[in-house]
A and B are shown apart, each in its own frame.
Chain A
Amino acid sequence: MHRGARQGSRGRIAVVSIRFDKLGVVIALIACYGAFSAPFAIFRANRIVAGEPRSIIEALPQPLGAVLLAVLVAAGLIALFRTPLVARLGAAAVTLASLALLIGVAGSHLTPEGNTFARISPASGFWLLIFAFTLLLADVLTRLQLSPVGRVVVLGIGAAAIWLLLASGQWDSLSILKEYANRADSFWNEARRHVELALGSLFAATLVGLPLGILCHRVQALRDGVLNVLNIIQTIPSIALFGILIAPLGWVAANVPGASVLGIRGIGAAPAFVALFLYSLLPVVANTVVGLAGVPRAANDAARGMGMTGWQRLSGVEFPLAFPVILTGIRIVLVQNIGLATIAALIGGGGFGVFVFQGVGQTAMDLVLLGAVPTVALAFAAAIILDAVVETVATRKSTEVAAA
């Protein structure tokens, strides 16, 4: 029936002989609005005054403005009609690259000579165009059904392109990079702190969570209790948990000899680390339990039949079979922690959140972006890479099982 219906509509469209791509219509509409009606860049005399909008033609030196509009119209048309995937991929890549290059050009073009206070930032039109063609790119990549390695390669290409643009100084005239230039040192410090918090708590949670999960799997009585407690911890809002931990850690710092020497204090990284660790436990423990419970009974019985001890069974049969599920839990934790680590800044724990909350406090949105953009990029990259790893491990396992 489905096939029949689709065939029917295809037949009807063939009569009109123009074939629209439904998503393309959406993309073309957004792109049209973004290119012609919304401002491309915002000019501000200094970092906190209200900005003045600039359209593509105003923001770019001629003939670049016209060229960009031509590229956008062409790419929009390619998206609008049913075109081969390669053409769509090309259109998306070329458009995104031109936008990335030209926003930098707009920055230098709009900044008056020798003025260090003026700020140029991308405006809604630019972001809408980026959104529209990222949508096109995402659609093409989804339809291409890339292998895990392929996805990581695409991510690598994207990262390399952005790094090149940053290194070339092309974007230096943009406001977010001016904020960066003012804080280059502290930026990398906070970045390191952010990654340390996210990865360190993940590492600790894995170290504790795996044995705890195995224990929960083996000891039925323990399972419900442990998982319930971890579930409740997950429902406590992060900012509240961070705050609540200040009290006990402050007490520990004051009353346990040597604790403060180790850096344990009520305020700062310690409560943030502990909170992230506690949040990370549930996905790790729960996925370990689910993974181990999913080990086929036959495999376990066969292992017993061959005379394996409990430990040999765990390390040789159960754990390898449960590994993909456990890895999925670790992926969830990492992406979640990268996001939550931003909140650590509220209790003096550092991380990219420092810029976000400073920016919010000073109503300096460029500073907010300086914190938010790297956080999102980090979480996004972590998700893609770990998804690829999980998929690789899972398919390898299933082919091994099929072969056995």
Chain B
Amino acid sequence: MRAWLPLLLRLCLLALLVAFLSNPLWFEPLLRPLTQNGAPAVYNQGSLLSLALLHLRTVAIATAAAIVVAVALAILVTRPIGAEFLPLSRSLVNIGQTFPPVAVLALAVPAVGFGEKPTLIALFLYGLLPIFENTLTGLTTTPPSIVEAARGAGMTGWQRLTKVELPLCLPVMLAGIRLSVVISLATATIGSTVAAKTLGEVIIAGLQSNNLAFVLQGGLIVAALAVLIYDALSALERMAARRMGQVA
């Protein structure tokens, strides 16, 4: 029973989410008690579905860019040519992680103005750190005997990287991507304060008009997305790890 219960719960959550996004009016009676003075119970200033898709799109673009740059940087500082940058890059990551996402977002506005751009920049910059850190950990902890065996088999540096080192650090890398995505989902919500089209719009509209129904539906959609994506990526990560006999 224990094995299938969590899966069932997640499937229910997914079904609920899809139902709510495609047909929010079905849930109107549930949300109605939360409103006052006949305010609308379901967000009416735009389609929830398209906001959710825009939200996911923003996160996807920023995460994809962050993966490319973070992995490239991690590879660079672990090659002989970039080895000098390794200690510094570690300290920079440590410092970078103390920057709150909101601050990054707010500080990006003066540079690029309002809209989706500052959100993308903040998500990208903040998403870099976990991926870089985890990829770095993965690349620097590859067992020496395995790298040695790869050299001994006559692999070139590039072949060692693509056929041995990167596949080996895949589970750790995935963990970093998962962290990054979850942080980005949350930060994208705040992006609405700088006029990005995301689900944060619903929450902020609710906060401004004192409409709890808006706050709740916006919050719950983002939370459900975050939980589902987190779970899916965790499962992917466990699969990758199990294949290598590591305990996730």
Contact = CB atoms under 8 A, between A and B. Distances in A.
Given A239-B200, A239-B203, A356-B103, A2 B87 contact: no
B111 to A, nearest CB: 8
Contacts, number: 145
Interface in B87-105: 87-88, 90-92, 94-95, 97-103
Contact of B203 (A21, A240, A357, A360): A240
A232 interface: yes
A139 B84 CA distance: 10
Interface in B174-232: 182, 185-187, 189-190, 193-194, 200, 203-204, 206-207, 212, 215-216, 218-220, 222-223, 226-227, 230
Contact residues on B (Cβ < 8 Å of other chain), bracket: 35 or more
Nearest to A9: B80
Interface string A7-24: 000000000000001110
A17 B87 CA distance: 26
Contact of A5 (B80, B204, B230): B80
B64 interface: no
Contact of A353 (B92, B102, B182): B102
Given A6-B80, A239-B189, A240-B222, A339 B88 contact: no
B206 A243 contact: yes
A142 B88 contact: yes
Nearest to A247: B212
Nearest to A341: B100
A237 B186 contact: yes
A252 B80 CA distance: 61
B98 to A, nearest CB: 4
Contact of B219 (A243, A335, A365): A243
B30 to A, nearest CB: 13
A232 B219 contact: no
A1 B17 CA distance: 56
A372 B101 contact: no
Contacts of B186: 236-240
A152 interface: no
A135 B96 CA distance: 12
A246 B215 CA distance: 9
A369 B105 CA distance: 11
A376 B186 CA distance: 19
B17 to A, nearest CB: 14
Contacts of A371: 106
B106 A335 contact: no
Given A22-B84, A239-B200, A244-B220, A339 B101 contact: yes
Given A142-B88, A376-B99, A380-B95, 18 more contacts: A22-B82, A23-B85, A142-B91, A235-B182, A236-B222, A237-B223, A239-B186, A239-B190, A240-B219, A247-B215, A247-B216, A339-B100, A339-B101, A342-B103, A353-B102, A360-B194, A368-B106, A372-B107
What 7 A-B pairs have minimum CB-CB distances, sorted nearest first?
A339-B100, A240-B219, A237-B186, A243-B215, A236-B223, A372-B103, A365-B110
26 contacts: A23-B84, A235-B226, A236-B219, A237-B186, A239-B219, A240-B186, A240-B220, A243-B203, A243-B207, A243-B218, A244-B215, A247-B215, A339-B99, A339-B100, A339-B101, A343-B102, A357-B193, A360-B106, A360-B193, A368-B106, A368-B110, A372-B102, A375-B100, A376-B99, A380-B98, A383-B98
Interface of A: 2, 5-6, 21-23, 124, 135, 138-139, 141-143, 232, 234-241, 243-244, 246-247, 250, 335, 338-340, 342-343, 346-347, 353, 356-357, 359-360, 363, 365, 368-369, 371-372, 375-376, 379-380, 382-383, 387
Interface of B: 34, 80, 82, 84-85, 87-88, 90-92, 94-95, 97-103, 106-107, 109-111, 114, 182, 185-187, 189-190, 193-194, 200, 203-204, 206-207, 212, 215-216, 218-220, 222-223, 226-227, 230
